[in-house]
Homo-oligomer: A and B are copies of this chain.
Amino acid sequence: MIKPVGSDILRPLFVYDQDKHHELMHEAQGLPSVVISSQSAGNAVMMGGGYFTPLTGFMGVADAMSVAETMKMTNGAFFPVPVLNLLENVDAIRGVKRIALRDPNVEGHPVLAIMEVEAIEEVSDEQMRVMTEKVYRTLDMEHPGVATFNSQGRFAVSGPIQVLHFSYFHDDFPDTFRTAVEIRNEIIERGWKKVVAFQTRNPMHRAHEELCTMAMERTGADGVVIHMLLGKLKPGDIPAPVRDAAIRKMVELYFRPNTAMITGYGFDMLYAGPREAVLHAYFRQNMGATHFIIGRDHAGVGDYYGAFDAQTIFDTEVPPGALDIEIFKADHTAYSKKLGRVVMMCEAPDHTKEDFVLLSGTKVREMLGKGIAPPPEFSRPEVAKILSDYYQSLGK
């Protein structure tokens, strides 16, 4: 099986020994504590589940700077993005060895993890600037990732962590949330050797479905792990149970048995485009995937990144040998009226836009809201039905 990045085994930082867990929860109640940023909470959850193996906790500034500039820590180990625990105020934890990290996203801010504090460092303007520019390729504060990164505070509190809770992900996404440990085990249980990972946070229309099938065929994979980015809903988002039901129905009807796993992970999107694509590939290797689909403008936002920057970074910037997972480079897929099947758009150079069945997201939502099914070349009718029922229920 493909090994985790830089490690023979996965090292989830969640404390699975219940006695130890109980003891640490008890200890945490008496520790000085801080409410961490949502981004840091996402990082803690990812480390808890083994996705960031072999990291043992939050990076210090030297490692974060080194990672931002070269994707390597000061000890030479590969990591795609800084994993900083940035805080505005550290008065409560000055000079303390062990602290509790509290969850910003759950009522009452329960303890998420215990940290063994190695350093509290102030990050300079210049350091913030360098990290921002290297990771996001822009300093524009209109960029949502840049804005979030720069609004967390300037004190980097670093050190190894023991994770005690997976935040709200088990509550809100009980059927879907999975650790890298669980996905790795299930890949073995299912007897898969080659495994494609697919990133999504939306219901999947036919183009996405057939992209997964295409990737499996071309790589000779045994199955695809549909791996959803889970997070708090924003206005206009489709609720998790509806999205899940739509994806499950698609898998039930249009995938052969034992060729798709439906899973999700808890994390805050960085919108860092190419750099985030590398992070995405990193944790897909850790969960046991051998191939990762990266399409147009992966993890991008607005027009900050070129359409294929998130693919070329693997050839130009990722240190050779750093990752074993292979990138399945994709373009948009769509149904070709000429060919009567879904194709990758770049592979139909003789086609014009009119030769494809294309619909904007807005248009599709509008149709579904009126109970009009999008054409079957665009949406599987059974999937459209689930989404349509939901959109129509909003009007009532």
Known contacts A1-B19, A175-B248, A252-B241; A170/B190 CB under 8 A: yes
Known contacts A19-B1, A182-B182; A170/B252 CB under 8 A: no
- Asked whether, in the complex, the Cβ of A174 is within 8 Å of the Cβ of B16, the reply is no
The complex places the Cα of A18 from the Cα of B190 at a distance, in Å, of 11
Stretch of A69-77, A84-92, A200-208, A254-262 lying at the B interface? A254-262
Say yes or no: is A172 at the interface (Cβ < 8 Å to chain B): yes
- Asked whether, in the complex, the Cβ of B14 is within 8 Å of the Cβ of A262, the reply is no
The residue of chain B having its C-beta at the shortest distance from the C-beta of A163 within the complex is: B189
Chain B residue contacts of A19, Cβ below 8 A: 1
- Asked whether, in the complex, the Cβ of A16 is within 8 Å of the Cβ of B262, the reply is no
The complex places the Cα of A72 from the Cα of B172 at a distance, in Å, of 43
Using a CB–CB distance below 8 Å, which chain A residues touch chain B?
A: 1, 14, 16, 18-19, 21, 165-166, 170-172, 174-175, 179, 181-182, 185-186, 188-191, 241, 245, 248, 251-252, 257-258, 260-262
CB distance from A168 to the nearest CB of B (A): 8
Select which of B18, B172, B174, B179 is within 8 A of A1 by beta carbon.
Answer: B18
A–B pairs, 13, beta carbons within 8 Å: A1-B18, A14-B189, A16-B188, A170-B258, A171-B257, A172-B257, A174-B251, A174-B258, A174-B260, A175-B175, A175-B248, A175-B262, A245-B245
Copies of this protein in the complex: 2
The complex places the Cα of A118 from the Cα of B190 at a distance, in Å, of 29
The complex places the Cα of A165 from the Cα of B189 at a distance, in Å, of 6
Select which of B179, B191, B257 is within 8 A of A165 by beta carbon.
Answer: B191
- Asked whether, in the complex, the Cβ of B188 is within 8 Å of the Cβ of A21, the reply is yes
The residue of chain B having its C-beta at the shortest distance from the C-beta of A21 within the complex is: B188
CB distance from A256 to the nearest CB of B (A): 9
Beyond the given pairs A21-B188, A170-B190, A175-B248, 18 more chain A to chain B contacts, judged by CB atoms under 8 angstroms and listed by A's residue number, are A1-B19, A14-B189, A16-B185, A16-B188, A18-B188, A166-B189, A170-B186, A171-B257, A171-B258, A172-B257, A174-B260, A174-B262, A175-B175, A175-B262, A181-B185, A182-B182, A241-B248, A245-B245
Chain B residue contacts of A189, Cβ below 8 A: 14, 166, 170, 179
The complex places the Cα of A14 from the Cα of B185 at a distance, in Å, of 10
The complex places the Cα of A188 from the Cα of B179 at a distance, in Å, of 13
CB distance from A277 to the nearest CB of B (A): 26
Chain B residue contacts of A166, Cβ below 8 A: 189
